[in-house]
Chains A and B, each alone.
Chain A
Amino acid sequence: MRHAVALTLAAVLIAALARAGLAAGWQGPAVLGIGLLATAAAIAAMAGLSASDTLAARIATPALFGALLLWLWEMLVVGLHISQVLLPSPSAIAQAFTTHLPVLGADFRQTVLRAVVPGYILGCGAGFAVAIAIDRSPFLRRGLLPLGNLASAMPIVGIAPIMVMWFGFGWQSKAAVVVLMTFFPMLVNTTAGLAEAGTQEQDLMHSYAAGYGTTLRKLRLQAALPHIFTALKLNSTLALIGAVVAEFFGTPIVGMGFRISTEAARLNLGMVWAEITVAALAGSASFGAIALVERAVTFWHPSFRD
């Protein structure tokens, strides 16, 4: 572990030296040599870290790998003089990020808080409710499930302009798109989950004279939770994609999709990537939060047992 830490430090220092050398105008082969040395040190550090099983080591390995990729990106863009309008360097993106933090915050509020969250809650709620209805009534199962299938196959770039025409330019049309995107995965997963409860357990409930409602609440929904959480995690990423893409088709002048499309047209690629970073962070954070809740609630599931 000590060796791994030392190697990490060495890798970081040599990498910084290579970047500084590039900025100072050192010769190509010299920078390349130093760069290869830094990469070798980083890889050796990661090998050492992956041997250890502590929490620190488990976090450090992917962090170091991510840092290595970012550094390689920076070196290639600056060293090969790639135009900033085609691919900006991570340093340019970081600069755009810090300079325009208020704008990014306003866009986050408009897209995530005002469109994604209501749409997600509505879409997942509707999917869940319809799944319970389908469970109750075989007639609905045969009628609604294929229609749900059809609804999910509609391409978002086709639905979004129609939603804008129906619901206007505000957050309502974006939330509508999110509802349509999250409805079907939730429906299908809940239906599959409700079939999970074992026959023996259901017989036991029957022997206790438990009605449909009690059996649903105390047995079948509990058994369905792993599937439901799968849908919730999937929907968190779909919802963000849906809201951002829907904003390409009509929006007030604030929002992540609006910012990405207009800044890309203005060749401010640094800002585009800053918005992408915000979207990635938001998506990962929501996915991670749902995963944590899932771990707490469905601790009994085999996938969480070591």
Chain B
Amino acid sequence: MSGAKVIVSKEPWNKPLPNIDQDNAPFWEGLRQHKFLVWRCRTCGASYWPKAHCRNHDNAPFLENMAWEEASGSGTLFAFNRHHTAFHPGFKSEIPYIYALIELDEGPLVSTTLVGDKQPKDVYDVGQKVEVVYEDHPAEGFTLPRFRIID
């Protein structure tokens, strides 16, 4: 999506690697192209994340009536926690970090960390509008989706 915020990381990656498999490879390729994809039903338009059968009706074999399509990349803050403990050594420089549930405008919940200057003040402080920030890791060849509060 044009105008989306992008962070290019030059830090060596010392954390667990993303799991990219047959089912989510198009999603991860979308992130590399700075597009946030959701799995959408072409029969009724319902959106899913991660990939799943549409619940609203019967589906074509191997979900051929569904496809990854670009979403708005925006949503609202549903709930979050603030990690004060680095369970893995790679996160020692990150704590405290906010790990949040984002309710996409298209419906599904996704989870990721919040970045940016605007941070919720406590766990009761939810419902803010958020948008995706693409964090490129060119040396490793993947892009992570972070979110930031925009209102």
Co-assembled chains A and B:
no
Partner-A contacts on B (CB < 8 A):
none
Partner-B contacts on A (CB < 8 A):
none
